[in-house]
């Protein structure tokens, strides 16, 4: 009798001696081992990912902190973020381009310029008569404010010629802030 036959015969006697409860116990043990091996792989992958993220954050924390800017430095950096006065024609083209994109008719504009004595900024006031449906006017103003942070709305007035007319007459006063010429 070979070794394999002896092992098979011994295992058969053990299973017969263990009865139904023993066979069920072995089956449950095998199921638990296979479940542990398959279920914990995703947890191991997540643990590895978290360890890598922890290492990356730790490396970032070890880097020297950026030097704190003085209030004066922060203010100068803020003012440097505004476009130069030479960029005003391009800013006006963008503003009018947003109106055209929304189907808003813009008439002649009235411009006024005033230097802000407390800062290196120049304040350009732009009074624009415009005409269009309410949705288009609102979309135009929203687009300008969202995409041109140097522009603010100072005044807005809307009028409708008659109740049934969909187009509104609007007067929009924008303020454009630019850095003064040195």
Residue 73 lies in a domain: no
Residue 9 lies in a domain: yes
- pLDDT for 139-158, tens place per residue? 999 999 999 999 999 999 99
* 98 and 19 housed in the same domain: no
**Which of these, 136, 138, 110, lies nearest to 124 by C-alpha position?**
110
Domain boundary among 10, 34, 63: 63
- Range of the structural domain that residue 98 is part of: 82-179
Residue 74 lies in a domain: no
Give the count of domains, the chain.
2
* 32 and 112 housed in the same domain: no
pTM attached to this predicted model: 0.59
Residue 72 lies in a domain: no
Give the β-pairing of 110-115 and 105-106. Answer: unpaired
- pLDDT for 53-81, tens place per residue? 888 888 877 777 667 778 888 888 888 88
Q: Which helix (H) or strand (E) holds 153?
A: strand 151-160
* 22 and 99 housed in the same domain: no
* 21 and 100 housed in the same domain: no
* 15 and 100 housed in the same domain: no
């Amino acid at each position: 009798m070979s070794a394999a036959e002896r092992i098979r015969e011994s295992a058969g006697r053990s299973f017969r001696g263990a009865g139904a409860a023993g066979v069920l116990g072995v089956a449950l043990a095998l199921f638990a081992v296979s479940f542990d091996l398959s279920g914990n792989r995703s947890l191991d992958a997540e643990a590895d990912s978290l360890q890598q993220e922890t290492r990356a954050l730790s490396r970032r924390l070890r880097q020297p902190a950026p030097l704190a800017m003085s209030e004066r430095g922060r203010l100068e950096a803020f003012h440097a973020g505004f476009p130069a006065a030479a960029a005003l024609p391009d800013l006006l083209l963008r503003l009018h381009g947003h109106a055209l994109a929304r189907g808003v008719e813009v008439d002649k504009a009235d411009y006024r310029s005033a230097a802000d004595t407390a800062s290196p900024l120049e304040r350009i006031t732009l009074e624009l008569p415009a005409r269009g449906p309410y949705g288009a006017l609102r979309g135009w103003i929203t687009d300008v404010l969202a995409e041109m942070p140097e522009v603010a709305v100072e005044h807005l007035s809307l009028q409708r010629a008659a109740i049934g007319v969909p187009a509104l007459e609007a007067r929009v006063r924008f303020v454009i802030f630019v850095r003064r010429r040195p």
